[in-house]
Structure formats: structure tokens, C-alpha cells
Amino acid sequence: MTINNLILKHQDDFNLETISLPASKSVANRALIISALAGGGSNLENISEARDTQTMQRLLLSMEKELDVLDAGTTMRFLTAYLVITNQTKVLTGSTRMLERPIGILVEALRELGGRIDYITKEGFPPLKFKGFIDLGKDRIQVRGDVSSQYISAILMIAPLLKKGLKIELTGKIGSRPYIEITLSIMRSFGVHSTFDKNIITVGPQEYKAVDYKIEPDWSAASYWYSFVALSSNSTVRIKDLRLPALQGDSVIVDIMRPLGVESHFDNDGVTLKKIEHVSEFEYDFTDCPDLAQTITVICAAKNIKGSFTGLESLKIKETDRIQALQNELSKIGTQLKENDSNWELIPNYEVKTNTVTINTYDDHRMAMAFAPLVMKSSVEIENPSVVSKSYPRFWEDLKKVQLNVIEGA
């Protein structure tokens, strides 16, 4: 049965519980591609239950001529490069929103290397038709660094299998650099070495090796628990197996949340989040961690913390236009998010609501989970709550685990 909405009944605090997060889909999807390029035989431990990762697993094994990635951006971009280097002749498609998300930069780069790819309907956008691969022996390309790190990661993962390897020159500002570092780190774990000097990444011709690889918990998922603690009266929560250092750039949430009112206490088994005092104004550049932006803007809005943010440009081409979605939903709690060139100003005017605040999720998992912690301030209605299956399928069950009152709608 489809649940159209969930009502989260307001409460100030929740009971201390130990939460186990899903595995990182960012790490898992890279490991799955690289394991396939290694010829199989790797043991990947703690594979994410996120729909994006399950889709990747299924499509890598599929014998169908048309592969549907649904709404999984990483799956679309990584499979595009994978289908090229493995010389396959298939069609790659996705959801309506996926077909609106640009992929031209990646396709043009792969064509330079010898990939034969056609656009089926609209130039620069999926669906794509693959017609094989002839390695042209090109060993250097330029790729814009300011659009999507997933394009760069997709090319990097196939680079060692090219005859001469590859040198990638990143032009312009490099966005989401930690995601590129994740890719290079996982490649090293599977036996492929590289250098990343200033804006040049060099990968020589090499072979991947099958290995045992454990996927770490998802730091993006952890950010929502930081938000629950920040917006509570005095709640504490423990997250199992979450540790530093971590591959994922979103582990910076530890540092971001200290001035916003949450302190992290690590031990051998995980981390305990505790509420502390917070600042009245907050500035941050989200260039390297755009997936945290929705969470942080909601926290600042609900705590009446004035915000000044940069590095949000990529949010406009995500699962939805996240800037527009944030502006629409934040307005319901008295907050403005104003864009001025490359800077966004958050002007909060939050007052405790006696009525239920209804949040539209725009088919975006992060909209649902970023706004759910508002339950610590007022009752919240989340429309289309099933969107969380994309990255954190157990999210609503975990809320019930800490004794939050989650009521299913029609």
C-alpha cells in the first residue's frame, strides 16, 4: 500500500537510542563499478540497502538491452562510463526527472576517448544509446570541475583500463572535491594508483584486483540525526559504527554542527551526539558537501540562526531544483532564502507553530529527511514519504525506534 503522507506529532525530546545507519551509497556505488571492472570475485561487505545501490547491483547483472536507472544520478553517470569501457551496445534511460538532468559533459568526454554514444531524444540529455567503444589512444582530456564530480568519478574509474591510461585536467573551480577523493581512495583499495596534483589527475594503465572491501556508514544519513538533536530541547542519540577519519566528505558535519548546537563524542563503537549552545549567525561554503545544505538551512531556520551560504549552485540540477524547493518550503516557517549572485542569504523568522506544517518533498529524499526534524518544534506532515527509499529506507522506522510519534496517512 502506498502511503501518501506521514504525520509527525510534535514533541520536544526523544528517548536515547542507538541507531545503525545505512551504508554509504556513494561508496557502495563506486565499489560496485570497480568490482565489476576487476572481473568480479570481490567480497563487498555492508552493501547499502538504498534503492540507488540496489538499482546499480541489479543493472550490472542485467542482460536486458535497455537499462532503467530510475532516479539514480550516480547510477546513470557511472553506468554511462562503464558501458563504454566494456564495449556494450545498450540503451540507458531513467525517470522523467532523470531525463531532464544534463549529461553532455560526460558524454563528450567519453566520445573523445572512443565511446560511440547517441542521444535518443534531446541533445545533452538521457536516454542514451551505446554503440560500442574503440580506444583512440588519447591520454589527456579536459573536464569542467564546477558542474558534477560524478562525471569526473565516472571517467576516473575507467581510466586505468585505457591503453595509455589518462590524465584529466579539471578546468574552473573544482566542486565536491571530496567525492573525487572517495573515488581515488576506493580505486587504490582495488590496486589502482593515481596522482592528484592541483587540477591534474593522472591514472596510468593498470588492472583492478579483486579484494575484500567494507563499506562505511552513510554520513549524509547521520546529518539528519544531528538535526534532530539540534532542534530538540535536550536530546541525546548514539550512532553505531560511525567513526573518523572517514572517506566521505559529509563527515564534515561534525565540525559544522558544533557552532549550530551539537557536539560529537566518539569512542571505539561509534559516536554520541549531545546538545550544546549555538551561535546566532553562521556562514558556510557547501562546495565540497552540497548534500548537507538542505539539512543545515532547516536547522538555521528553526533555530533562528541567520545564514550566509555559498557553493549551492549544483543543487539546481539534483533530484529536483533544491534551491527552489527550499525557498518554497522554508517560507512556510517564516524563512527567506535569498539568492544574490553566488551567495545565498538565509533570513529566519521562525515562531513555534500550533498547527501542522505540511512539507512537499518534490520526489526528493533529502527534502523529506531535512524537514522531518522540525517535529521537535511543531507537528509536521511529510508528503510522499516513500522518497526516503532512495538513500535511507529505514528512516521512518528509526524515528519510531526513538519513540517519535509517526502516524501513517492515506
Catalytic residues: 291
Pairing between strand 91-93 and 43-45?
Answer: unpaired
230: closest CA among 301, 140, 309? Answer: 301
Q: Which helix (H) or strand (E) holds 230?
A: helix 219-231
Displacement of CA 403 from its chain's centroid (Å): 27
Spatial distance between the Cα atoms of 75 and 65, rounded to a whole number of angstroms = 16
Strands 5-9, 405-408: pairing kind: antiparallel
CA dist 239 to 47, 182, 264, 356, 373, Å?
18, 22, 10, 29, 16
Cα 299 to chain centroid distance, Å, stands at 19
Distance CA 409, CA 392 (A): 20
Count CB neighbours of 59 within 10 A: 21
Rounded Cα distance between 49 and 83, Å, is: 24
Angle 96-101-106 (CA atoms, 0-180°, nearest 5)? 135
Q: Report d(CA 150, CA 290) in Å as an integer.
A: 13
**332, HSE (Cβ side, Cα atoms, 13 Å):** 18
Rounded distance, CA 168 to CA 144, Å? Answer: 10
Question: Nine-digit cell at 372?
Answer: 522531518
- The closest of 3, 10, 16 to 238, measured between CA atoms, is 16
Range 380-383 contact pairs with CB under 8 angstroms and sequence separation of 24 or more: 380/7, 380/8, 380/10, 380/356, 381/5, 381/6, 381/7, 381/8, 381/356, 381/357, 381/409, 382/5, 382/6, 382/8, 383/4, 383/5, 383/358, 383/359
**CA angle in degrees (0–180, nearest 5) for 82-83-87:** 115
Phi, psi (deg, nearest 5) at residue 294: -65, -45
